[in-house]
Amino acid sequence: MQVLTRLASALMVLFVVSAMIFALTRLGGVSPARLVLGADAPAESIAAFEAEHGLDRPIAVQYLAWLRALPAEGFARSYVTGQSVNQRLAETLPLTLELVTLAFVLAVVGSIALGSASAYGENRWPDHAVRILAMAALSVPGFWLGLLLMWLVGVQLGWLPPVGVIPWARGVWPHLSSLLLPALAIAIYYIGAMSRLMRASLIDVLGQDYTRTGVALGLSARTRYAYTLRDALPPFVSMAAMSYGYMFGWAVIVEMVFNLPGLANALLTAIFQRDYPMIQAIVLLITLVFVLASTAADLIQRALNPRLAT
Amino acid sequence: MDALLQIEDLDVRFGTFHAVRGVSLHLARGEKLAIIGESGSGKSVTALSVMRLLDGAARTAGRVLLQGEDVLSLSASALRQMRGRRVAMVFQDPMTSLNPVFPVGRQLGDVLAAHTDLPRAARRARAVELLTQVGIREAERCLTLYPHELSGGMRQRVMIALAIACDPALLIADEPTTALDVTVQEQITRLLVDLCRARGIGLLFISHNLDLVGEFADRIAVMHEGRIVEMGEAAQVMGAPRAEYTRKLLAAIPRIGLPGAGRIPDTPVVLETRAVSRAYPRARSAVARLWDRRQVQALSPSDLRVHAGQVLGIVGESGSGKSTLARLLIGLDQPTSGSVLLQGVPLKPRDRDERRALSRRIQLVFQGSQASLNPRKTIRRALSEAMQALPRAERRSPGALMELVRLDPALLDRYPHQLSGGQRQRVGIARALATSPDILIADEPTSALDVSVQKEIIDLLQALQRDLGMTLIVISHDLGLIGTICDRVLVMRAGAVVETGEARQVLTHPATDYTRALLASLPKGLAGRARFASPA
């Protein structure tokens, strides 16, 4: 029952957000017709363009029409290029998803490892070292870090390809390795932030009476770590889920730096051209990712914490 | 003598705090030794150092010999094998000492896996066996339950099952019943004593409750300020104490004395409830309430009447509805049905002016004086703020309030954490008296305090009630406290009033089985030894 409630509310969020996006993209004031046809296009051709694309109707009507078309035809065509938005997304979205997912995995694994080292070495050198690393990670902008990694690992050391992406067709490792540097550039900030949370959460659990019970019962260090990590996960899961959404924002910059043909390029071009159908589609997709991630986080929390699941 | 545990000259310091000062004791196989003391006496630190469970800040000296081997010099892996296998521990609060996110079966299975080679299926069978041994009837079902799904007593039984899972030779129980209700306390103590007797386990029982350990301990050690001030056979320590401190502790235990001749006075009724009840929706979120309309009945319709100048005791175990009733009496909460009448006029707690006026008539003393005083405000400010509802002319000086509760006004500029527990509770009382209320409600006024401090607070409340002619309502789970100061008693259970009457009558000739059971489960010191003489 609770799961259904949660899914229903996720769907509601998606509706509300899609309406807001729709309205906001149209509040720009400048008709896309002007951008497509040029600043001195005659009024008749502007009117004709708007009529053709339905831009002369009230916003609510436009929204409903767009919504109605969504399940059957997907997103509309671009005003500017006339190209199908569906197709453009199909070309660019997978790469960005791969990049962000890889960054997410790096961030989760890295922050659990560093956070644990920090918590178990509380106020001793491992803690101090991780604290300094985390501060550095949080204060250095991702694109600059990307450039640094590109120069150091890609160019100087030559371990990984510095720019561009190697297609799947040339093998799994070559493909992933070409994404590793940009993924790291995105992940480092989140490793910094999430490892601090992991540390705080672990220290909290380590101070609980039941941790002492585990010691008193002579449980092995491995079992106790598994217990502690499991208990410390819930706040971490919420933060990780949100981070997954935020990483799309970072991906825009990092994809530009590493010259990756992902969503970033498509989004920036669309924004400059006021290509409403394209902007809407991309923003809605990112919202969808956010909503899915936070719903997943909620469901995972429920599974992790039996006290919520009643 | 076959010494299972021998502590020689144990000394523990935390920085400058000298927690344990040269403690020596021994415990034979199958013996039951109780360590008694108030908070800060070093009793728990002594117990924890047997398991080497003190945190890194502790500096320990001396020797702790378990079966002849010095625990203080064991390696980490030897220590791990010792813990749970040769010595195990049961802690005070079973809610916080069991892992909340794993089912009982998993927790038992992991302990067995840590110390035995049993395969999974055998571990499960052993877990069922253990749960049955600690008196859990549906052991199979219990394996799949989480700690929050169990009652307090069940949780402590599970904790005991964990402790005895690998047949330890020594069991340390640190205040194992303090967080539990009286009736459950008796069952758990009984279980521990019977298990240790049947298996020849040595029991080191840490407690603040002399009457409790007097019923079963072979020997008692009394600790005070890090030292053992007296140690001997239970009958001697309880019956003919040698140390001054032991005598003081024994004198401070609130025992049911026969209180005031039940001054059921011809004074008018000041506070009464008419079929007052309170129910809460079961569903937590507003959305879920749309389809889940089930209610939890915290208080069934209840009637009570308090006459001016009377002391009424409301007694009950956890979940009995006594705190719900208190919140309704003071207007902190709205009844679902029925009404509360103050001098014949129904309370309307939603009305802001009336709330303000009410604060001058009824006041509440809270249980945890630590939590109910703002840690960032001095005592002076806390007391001054309590008088804001009064017109300026009627306000008293904070110093006068301090003197009223026999506290040195020099303490006014301190913060709550700079006071002792007893001093804080006096401030709590002073704050409640700031508006000179006619009625004072004290919710578990002594439960967070040491025995000797409890006595001081009880004496203070009694004196204030007499001198100021207040009406006093004391809410407590402690029949000893109720039986010491109350004129009338109201016994509650599961949200309902089961018995009410003159204190002397109810406590000596209870009319209901529940009150009888409650009285019977009170620890009785040496007088209660007979019931532990043989297994149940």
Check residues B301 and A274 and name the one with the higher pLDDT: B301
pLDDT at B287: 67
Outline where B350-450 has alpha helix (H): 352-358, 369-372, 379-386, 398-404, 421-433
A77: number of Cβ within 10 Å: 18
Is 90 exceeded by the pLDDT of residue A105?
yes
Q: Let me know: does B27 contact B81? Beta carbons within 8 Å.
A: no
pLDDT at A91: 85
Give the residue-averaged pLDDT of B455-474: 90
- pTM to 2 decimals? 0.84
Sign of the torsion formed by the C-alpha atoms of B119, B122, B128 and B134: negative
Across all residues in chain B, what is the average pLDDT?
89
Cβ of B101 under 8 Å from any chain A Cβ? Answer: yes
Q: What is the C-alpha to C-alpha distance for residues B152 and B187, in angstroms, rounded to an integer?
A: 12
pLDDT tens for residues B187-217?
A: 999 999 999 999 999 999 999 989 999 999 9
Calculate how close chain A gets to B94, using CA atoms only, in Å: 9
Cα–Cα nearest to B341, from B416, B272, B247: B272
**Measured between CB atoms, which of A214, A218, A223 is closest to B85?**
A218
The length of chain A in residues reads 310
Q: Let me know: does B384 contact B423? Beta carbons within 8 Å.
A: no
Cα–Cα nearest to A139, from A102, A201, A193, A200: A193
Is 90 exceeded by the pLDDT of residue A273?
no
pLDDT band at B356 (very low <50, low <70, confident <90, very high): confident
User: What residues contact B300, with CB distance under 8 A and at least 6 apart?
Assistant: B277, B321, B495, B496
SS (H, E, C) chain A: CHHHHHHHHHHHHHHHHHHHHHHHHHHHCCCHHHHHHCCCCCHHHHHHHHHHCCCCCCHHHHHHHHHHHHHHHCCCECCCCCCEHHHHHHHHHHHHHHHHHHHHHHHHHHHHHHHHHHHHCCCCHHHHHHHHHHHHHHHCCHHHHHHHHHHHHHHHCCCCCCCCCCCHHHCHHHHHHHHHHHHHHHHHHHHHHHHHHHHHHHHHHHCCHHHHHHHHCCCCHHHHHHHHHHHHHHHHHHHHHHHHHHHHHHHHHHHHHCCCCCHHHHHHHHHHCCCHHHHHHHHHHHHHHHHHHHHHHHHHHHHHCCCCCC
Q: Which residue of A has its CA nearest to B89?
A: A216
pLDDT band at A306 (very low <50, low <70, confident <90, very high): confident
Give the residue-averaged pLDDT of A258-268: 85
pLDDT at B444: 87
Buried b (16+ CB within 10 A) or exposed e, B348-363: ebeeeeeeeebbebbb
Q: Which of A8-22, A42-56, B119-133 has the highest mean pLDDT?
A: B119-133
Q: How many CA atoms lie within 13 A of B463 on its CB side?
A: 11
pLDDT band at A86 (very low <50, low <70, confident <90, very high): confident
Give the residue-averaged pLDDT of A97-105: 94
Calculate how close chain A gets to B374, using CA atoms only, in Å: 24
Least confident of A68-72, A261-265, B44-48, B357-361: A68-72
Least confident of A47-51, B133-137, B243-247, B458-462: A47-51
Tell me the two tokens of residue B236. 């001697």
**Measured between CB atoms, which of A210, A220, A221 is closest to B96?**
A210
pLDDT tens for residues B252-283?
A: 887 777 655 555 667 888 899 999 999 888 77
Contact between B85 and A209 using a beta-carbon 8 Å cutoff? no
Q: Let me know: does B223 contact B45? Beta carbons within 8 Å.
A: no
Domains along chain A?
A: 2-73 (no CATH), 85-304 (1.10.3720.10)
Contact between A306 and B96 using a beta-carbon 8 Å cutoff? no
A230: chain B residues, CB-CB within 8 Å: 101-102
Contact between B88 and A216 using a beta-carbon 8 Å cutoff? yes
- Measure Cα distances from B502 to B79, B94, B244, B439, B491 in Å: 57, 36, 36, 19, 11
pLDDT at B35: 96
pLDDT at B4: 93
User: What are B21's strand-pairing partners?
Assistant: B11
User: What residues contact B24, with CB distance under 8 A and at least 6 apart?
Assistant: B7, B8, B9, B10, B228
Tell me the two tokens of residue B152. 């307090």
Q: Which residue of A has its CA nearest to B145?
A: A306
Cβ of B388 under 8 Å from any chain A Cβ? Answer: no
Q: Let me know: does B4 contact B65? Beta carbons within 8 Å.
A: no
pLDDT band at A69 (very low <50, low <70, confident <90, very high): confident
Best mutation site among B51, B97, B160, B293 for testing chain A: the one with the most A CBs within 10 Å?
Answer: B97
**Measured between CB atoms, which of B83, B102, B103 is closest to A217?**
B83
pLDDT tens for residues B74-119?
A: 999 999 999 999 999 999 888 899 999 999 999 999 999 999 999 9
pLDDT at B396: 86
User: What residues contact A158, with CB distance under 8 A and at least 6 apart?
Assistant: none
Cβ of A212 under 8 Å from any chain B Cβ? Answer: yes
DSSP B211-271: HHHTTT-SEEEEEETTEEEEEEEHHHHHHS--SHHHHHHHHHS------SS----SSPEEE
ipTM > 0.85 for the complex: no
Cβ of A16 under 8 Å from any chain B Cβ? Answer: no
pLDDT tens for residues B165-190?
A: 999 999 999 999 988 888 889 899 99
Cα–Cα nearest to B113, from A213, A216, A219, A210: A219
A48: number of Cβ within 10 Å: 15
Q: What is the C-alpha to C-alpha distance for residues B69 and B302, in angstroms, rounded to an integer?
A: 60
Domains along chain B?
A: 3-253 (3.40.50.300), 270-280+295-520 (3.40.50.300)
Cβ of A306 under 8 Å from any chain B Cβ? Answer: yes
Is 70 exceeded by the pLDDT of residue A42?
yes
Is 80 exceeded by the pLDDT of residue B73?
yes
- Type and span of the H or E element at B18: strand B17-28
pLDDT at A285: 85
Q: What is the C-alpha to C-alpha distance for residues B338 and B341, in angstroms, rounded to an integer?
A: 10
pLDDT at B492: 93
